[in-house]
Chain A
Amino acid sequence: MSYWGLDIVKSGNKEIGTRNLFTLFLRALLIQASWSFDRMQSLGFAYAIEPFLRRLYPDTKEYESRLKLHLEYFNTQPYLAAFILGAALRLEYERTSGHKYDSDVAELKTALMAPLGALGDSFFWGALKPVAAAVAIAFLVTGLWWAPVLFLVLYNIWHIGLRIAFVFWGYISRGDAVELMRRCRFTRLAKLFKIATLTVLGGILGLLPAWRPELKPDVNIPGIAIALLSLAITLILLMALRKGSSPVKLMLGLAVSCLALAYAGVI
């Protein structure tokens, strides 16, 4: 039986359906609730899949042994963990329902967590978050109060939409990461977002004459000159960062420089 492209497999009270997968998505939101250095997201993973294990394994000993299996070390990008959870649930279901299965759940988790972690970090943290932030900051510095809401909307349309889809795709494909990458083209999208971020960042500097008065320098020079000056200062700071200065040290250094300039009467 197929429903929204999802096989709803029935075997007595072991049915796994759309509502179950949505429950899995909700529990996956807590995958990092007890994040630790030694086993990282293992408790969160076990917590998300536990109700289904209880249903699939009525025998207490078997249930306990499967739950302990999911308590082994696990770490990946938290959103893409939903894909692995969906796949793990599918394999657990097939294990109990007599379907032919050729993958081991532990092996699948180990095989997927590192590549999906790298993919998710580079797309969600390294590309989607900066582009949403850059767009929102462009509106914020020019004085639009709803920019934080725009940031949340831009980010979460992708985040929530994909995170729900990951659970379903993981379940349907039994963890076929190649199909996931073909479907989402994360690497290309990440590059697209990074280029867009750089363009908007350049634009934010060019917009300096229109920044809210609190953030605009109080100097009596034409707008275009202020914008060029801000670009020059940014590139000088960029060169300092490329030489290995840490952000915190550079911030403290900036504050000390400002104090020196103020006491010297320059500003």
Chain B
Amino acid sequence: MPLLDTQMIIIIIATTLIGGLIGLDRTAVGQFMVSQPIVAAPFIGWMLGDVTAGMIIGACLELIWVLDMPIGSFVPANSTVSSISATAIAILGSNGVAPLSVIGFSLLFTTGMVPLTMIADTIVRKWNSRLSDAVSASHGVNTRSALVRAQFLGLAAFYLKSSILYLIFLPVGIIAIGFCAHLPDSFHRAMSFFVKLLPLLGAAMMIRNLSRTTFDIFLLTGFAMSAFMMLTVQTPVFTIILLIVMGVLLGARYSEVWK
């Protein structure tokens, strides 16, 4: 199949429309967290026929961006656009099931685009200032209609922002993956290894934000417990449930004194 044929363009447009809707959850509507990478990426992966690629991308990006918080006027990296773009680029660029090296490259490509997503978010939020000015300038019964119009224009602006980003990132990323296919095997090995390191980077980022110490006692306790369980019982689901119970018990015991 040629890189960008009619079918591909239709899929890109469909992904753009759905991605825009998912992106609304990020700031504008509800914040039910369907826009988080761990949900958005597997969903897009399932929609495009490779849920595994979506799960790998979702897990990596969730760990990396989960504590990048929208506090005050700070505009965090748009992990929704990154995760949906990375998943769609990897799957569409591979014409089906995405190899790990392609997943690695698409993650790298969308990471490079993160500053652009932040700029786009900033532009929309600056533009929204005009909406509040318009409502303030209205009088009498027009104030209500100006308010409702402003709210829906704000929603449209957030939707359009995500959609435009997808319409740029997806074709460019898919074409870039087409070129990567001709690169030597060492490049593909490097990208596969990169994917395997990303969860560790994500874990490090979460630990940095959650604990002041590098050798955190709760982290090391969780590690020791699960390593021991894997050596003895070798049942991951049972181990995880035990970890959660232990985490809650430790939290209940030490939350009064922990700083």
Contact = CB atoms under 8 A, between A and B. Distances in A.
Interface of A: 29-30, 32-40, 42-44, 46-47, 50, 54, 60, 64, 67-68, 71, 75, 78-79, 117, 121, 125-126, 129-130, 132-142, 144-145, 147-148, 151-152, 155-156, 159-160, 188-189, 191-207, 209-210, 212, 214-217, 223-224, 227-228, 230-231, 233-235, 237-242, 247-248, 250-252, 254-255, 258-259, 261-263, 265, 267
A47 B187 contact: no
A195 B196 contact: no
Contacts of B68: 247
Given A130-B67, A188-B255, A201 B206 contact: yes
A217 B112 CA distance: 25
B189 A262 contact: yes
Contacts of B62: 133, 136-137
B206 A71 contact: no
Nearest to B218: A198
A259 B194 CA distance: 9
A203 B243 CA distance: 7
A37 B191 CA distance: 39
A137 B63 contact: yes
A164 to B, nearest CB: 13
B73 A206 contact: no
A191 B251 contact: yes
**Most A C-beta atoms less than 10 A away, residue of B129, B209, B243, B244:** B243
A196 B63 contact: no
Nearest to A141: B59
B196 to A, nearest CB: 6
B200 interface: yes
A141 B139 CA distance: 56
Interface of B: 27-34, 36, 38-39, 42-43, 51-52, 55-56, 58-59, 62-73, 77, 100, 104, 108, 111-112, 114-115, 125-129, 131-132, 135-136, 139-141, 143-144, 147-148, 150-155, 157-158, 186-187, 189-191, 193-201, 203-211, 214-216, 218-231, 234, 236-237, 239-240, 243-244, 246-248, 250-252, 254-256, 258
Pick the 9 closest A-B CB pairs, nearest first: A34-B154, A202-B222, A206-B226, A196-B247, A192-B251, A199-B247, A36-B128, A262-B190, A202-B223
Contacts of B141: 60
A238 B112 CA distance: 21
A29 B38 contact: no
A36 B201 contact: no
Given A132-B33, A152-B33, 18 more contacts: A36-B126, A125-B70, A133-B38, A147-B55, A159-B33, A195-B247, A196-B244, A203-B225, A207-B240, A214-B195, A230-B200, A237-B204, A238-B204, A247-B68, A248-B114, A261-B190, A262-B193, A265-B186
B5 to A, nearest CB: 29
Contact of A200 (B64, B222, B236, B252): B222
Contacts of A200: 222, 240, 243-244, 247
A32 B147 contact: no
Contacts of B214: 235, 238-239, 242
A140 B34 contact: no
B28 A39 contact: no
Contacts of A145: 42, 51, 55
Contacts of B225: 199, 202-203, 206
Contacts of A258: 190-191, 193-194, 197
A207 B139 contact: no
A130 B129 contact: no
A136 B38 contact: yes
Nearest to B158: A33
25 contacts: A34-B151, A46-B147, A71-B136, A139-B237, A142-B237, A142-B240, A145-B51, A148-B58, A152-B32, A152-B39, A192-B248, A194-B251, A195-B251, A199-B221, A199-B246, A204-B199, A215-B196, A228-B227, A234-B200, A238-B204, A250-B201, A251-B64, A254-B197, A255-B194, A259-B190
B126 to A, nearest CB: 6
A132 B73 CA distance: 25
A192 to B, nearest CB: 3
Contacts of A137: 38, 59, 62-63, 199
Most chain-A Cβ atoms within 10 A of its Cβ — which of B51, B52, B56, B193? B193
A214 to B, nearest CB: 6
